Amino acid sequence: MGILEDADLEWLGRSGYTKFVPAGTILVRESTAIQDIFVVLDGKLSVLARAIGNREIAPLYPGEIVGEISFVDSRLPSASVVAAQDSQVLVIPGASLAAKLDGDDAFSARFYKAVATLLADRLRKTVSHLGYGKHQESVDPDELDDMLMESASVGARRFDRLLKQLMIH
Protein backbone atom coordinates (compact mmCIF):
# COMPACT_ATOMS: atom_id res chain seq x y z
CA MET A 1 0.00 0.00 0.00
CA GLY A 2 2.96 2.33 0.55
CA ILE A 3 3.71 2.36 -3.18
CA LEU A 4 0.21 3.45 -4.16
CA GLU A 5 -0.80 7.09 -3.79
CA ASP A 6 -3.77 8.35 -1.77
CA ALA A 7 -5.73 8.96 -4.98
CA ASP A 8 -5.06 5.34 -6.05
CA LEU A 9 -6.54 3.96 -2.84
CA GLU A 10 -9.48 6.34 -3.10
CA TRP A 11 -10.14 5.03 -6.61
CA LEU A 12 -9.95 1.43 -5.37
CA GLY A 13 -12.40 2.26 -2.59
CA ARG A 14 -14.84 3.95 -4.97
CA SER A 15 -14.55 1.27 -7.65
CA GLY A 16 -14.93 -1.71 -5.36
CA TYR A 17 -17.45 -2.87 -2.81
CA THR A 18 -17.14 -4.53 0.57
CA LYS A 19 -18.15 -8.12 1.11
CA PHE A 20 -18.58 -10.06 4.35
CA VAL A 21 -16.99 -13.52 4.15
CA PRO A 22 -18.11 -15.88 6.94
CA ALA A 23 -15.55 -18.28 8.45
CA GLY A 24 -15.18 -21.41 6.31
CA THR A 25 -16.30 -19.71 3.09
CA ILE A 26 -14.16 -20.34 0.02
CA LEU A 27 -13.34 -16.98 -1.55
CA VAL A 28 -11.10 -18.37 -4.30
CA ARG A 29 -11.27 -21.99 -5.45
CA GLU A 30 -8.12 -23.61 -6.84
CA SER A 31 -8.31 -24.19 -10.63
CA THR A 32 -11.53 -22.15 -10.93
CA ALA A 33 -11.47 -18.83 -12.80
CA ILE A 34 -11.94 -15.62 -10.82
CA GLN A 35 -12.90 -12.25 -12.23
CA ASP A 36 -12.00 -9.96 -9.35
CA ILE A 37 -9.20 -9.21 -6.94
CA PHE A 38 -9.70 -8.71 -3.23
CA VAL A 39 -8.11 -6.68 -0.45
CA VAL A 40 -8.45 -8.12 3.05
CA LEU A 41 -10.01 -5.40 5.20
CA ASP A 42 -10.65 -7.34 8.39
CA GLY A 43 -10.24 -10.90 9.64
CA LYS A 44 -7.97 -13.67 8.42
CA LEU A 45 -7.92 -15.77 5.27
CA SER A 46 -5.94 -18.96 4.63
CA VAL A 47 -4.26 -20.00 1.40
CA LEU A 48 -4.62 -23.78 0.86
CA ALA A 49 -3.38 -26.11 -1.88
CA ARG A 50 -4.57 -29.59 -2.87
CA ALA A 51 -1.00 -30.62 -3.68
CA ILE A 52 -0.14 -30.56 0.03
CA GLY A 53 -3.38 -32.02 1.36
CA ASN A 54 -5.25 -28.71 1.60
CA ARG A 55 -2.95 -27.54 4.37
CA GLU A 56 -2.38 -23.85 4.91
CA ILE A 57 0.41 -22.42 2.78
CA ALA A 58 0.05 -18.93 4.21
CA PRO A 59 -2.28 -16.78 6.29
CA LEU A 60 -3.55 -13.49 4.83
CA TYR A 61 -4.28 -10.52 7.07
CA PRO A 62 -5.74 -7.01 6.59
CA GLY A 63 -4.00 -5.07 3.85
CA GLU A 64 -3.08 -8.13 1.79
CA ILE A 65 -4.26 -8.70 -1.78
CA VAL A 66 -5.91 -11.89 -3.08
CA GLY A 67 -6.25 -12.92 -6.72
CA GLU A 68 -3.45 -10.71 -8.02
CA ILE A 69 -1.50 -13.58 -9.58
CA SER A 70 -4.44 -14.75 -11.70
CA PHE A 71 -5.18 -11.14 -12.60
CA VAL A 72 -1.61 -10.56 -13.77
CA ASP A 73 -1.05 -13.81 -15.69
CA SER A 74 -4.69 -14.68 -16.65
CA ARG A 75 -4.28 -18.26 -15.41
CA LEU A 76 -6.44 -20.24 -13.03
CA PRO A 77 -5.67 -19.90 -9.31
CA SER A 78 -3.02 -22.34 -8.09
CA ALA A 79 -4.46 -22.40 -4.56
CA SER A 80 -7.73 -21.87 -2.72
CA VAL A 81 -8.36 -19.02 -0.30
CA VAL A 82 -10.74 -19.69 2.59
CA ALA A 83 -11.92 -17.42 5.40
CA ALA A 84 -10.16 -18.72 8.51
CA GLN A 85 -12.45 -16.46 10.55
CA ASP A 86 -15.26 -14.06 9.77
CA SER A 87 -13.65 -11.54 7.44
CA GLN A 88 -14.40 -8.56 5.29
CA VAL A 89 -12.84 -7.89 1.89
CA LEU A 90 -12.88 -5.14 -0.67
CA VAL A 91 -13.89 -6.65 -4.02
CA ILE A 92 -12.32 -4.84 -6.96
CA PRO A 93 -13.97 -5.90 -10.23
CA GLY A 94 -11.30 -7.12 -12.63
CA ALA A 95 -12.88 -5.36 -15.63
CA SER A 96 -12.85 -1.99 -13.83
CA LEU A 97 -9.25 -2.48 -12.73
CA ALA A 98 -8.17 -3.53 -16.23
CA ALA A 99 -9.80 -0.41 -17.73
CA LYS A 100 -8.09 1.83 -15.14
CA LEU A 101 -4.72 0.20 -15.85
CA ASP A 102 -5.19 0.66 -19.61
CA GLY A 103 -6.18 4.31 -19.27
CA ASP A 104 -3.84 5.57 -16.54
CA ASP A 105 -0.14 4.86 -17.10
CA ALA A 106 1.00 6.34 -13.78
CA PHE A 107 -1.54 4.29 -11.80
CA SER A 108 -0.58 1.23 -13.83
CA ALA A 109 3.12 1.64 -13.01
CA ARG A 110 2.42 2.07 -9.29
CA PHE A 111 -0.06 -0.83 -9.20
CA TYR A 112 2.27 -3.28 -10.94
CA LYS A 113 5.22 -2.16 -8.80
CA ALA A 114 3.10 -2.76 -5.68
CA VAL A 115 2.09 -6.22 -6.93
CA ALA A 116 5.71 -7.07 -7.85
CA THR A 117 6.89 -5.97 -4.40
CA LEU A 118 4.16 -8.03 -2.73
CA LEU A 119 5.01 -11.12 -4.79
CA ALA A 120 8.74 -10.73 -4.14
CA ASP A 121 8.07 -10.55 -0.41
CA ARG A 122 5.84 -13.64 -0.54
CA LEU A 123 8.46 -15.55 -2.54
CA ARG A 124 11.19 -14.66 -0.04
CA LYS A 125 8.98 -15.83 2.85
CA THR A 126 8.10 -19.06 1.04
CA VAL A 127 11.73 -19.81 0.17
CA SER A 128 12.76 -19.11 3.75
CA HIS A 129 9.90 -21.27 5.07
CA LEU A 130 11.07 -24.15 2.87
CA GLY A 131 14.57 -23.86 4.30
CA TYR A 132 16.29 -22.46 1.22
CA GLY A 133 18.44 -19.39 1.03
CA LYS A 134 19.81 -19.51 4.56
CA HIS A 135 22.86 -17.53 3.53
CA GLN A 136 24.61 -15.12 5.85
CA GLU A 137 23.35 -11.60 5.38
CA SER A 138 25.65 -8.67 5.84
CA VAL A 139 22.88 -6.75 7.61
CA ASP A 140 21.10 -7.58 10.84
CA PRO A 141 17.86 -9.33 9.73
CA ASP A 142 15.99 -7.62 12.56
CA GLU A 143 16.94 -4.19 11.22
CA LEU A 144 14.65 -2.77 8.56
CA ASP A 145 15.92 -0.56 5.77
CA ASP A 146 14.88 3.09 6.31
CA MET A 147 13.08 3.26 2.96
CA LEU A 148 11.21 0.02 3.72
CA MET A 149 10.20 1.39 7.13
CA GLU A 150 8.92 4.62 5.59
CA SER A 151 7.01 2.70 2.91
CA ALA A 152 5.41 0.46 5.56
CA SER A 153 4.45 3.48 7.64
CA VAL A 154 2.94 5.30 4.66
CA GLY A 155 1.17 2.11 3.62
CA ALA A 156 -0.36 1.67 7.07
CA ARG A 157 -1.65 5.26 7.07
CA ARG A 158 -3.12 4.85 3.59
CA PHE A 159 -4.78 1.55 4.54
CA ASP A 160 -6.33 3.23 7.60
CA ARG A 161 -7.71 5.99 5.34
CA LEU A 162 -9.13 3.34 2.99
CA LEU A 163 -10.85 1.65 5.95
CA LYS A 164 -12.31 5.00 7.01
CA GLN A 165 -13.46 5.70 3.43
CA LEU A 166 -15.23 2.34 3.44
CA MET A 167 -16.41 2.92 7.02
CA ILE A 168 -14.78 -0.25 8.34
CA HIS A 169 -14.05 -0.19 12.12
Domain ranges for the chain = 6-124+144-165
Within a 10 A sphere around the Cβ of 41, how many other Cβ atoms? 21
pLDDT band for position 32 (50/70/90)?
A: very high
pLDDT in tens, 47-62: 999 998 999 988 999 9
Average pLDDT over residues 128-151: 57
Spatial contact of 34 and 67, defined as CB atoms under 8 Å apart: yes
Q: What are phi and psi of 138, to 5 degrees?
A: -80, -10
pLDDT in tens, 53-95: 999 988 999 989 999 999 999 999 999 999 999 999 999 999 9
Average pLDDT over residues 114-143: 70
pTM recorded for the entire structure: 0.80
Average pLDDT over residues 125-149: 59
Q: Which fold has domain 6-124+144-165?
A: Jelly Rolls (2.60.120)
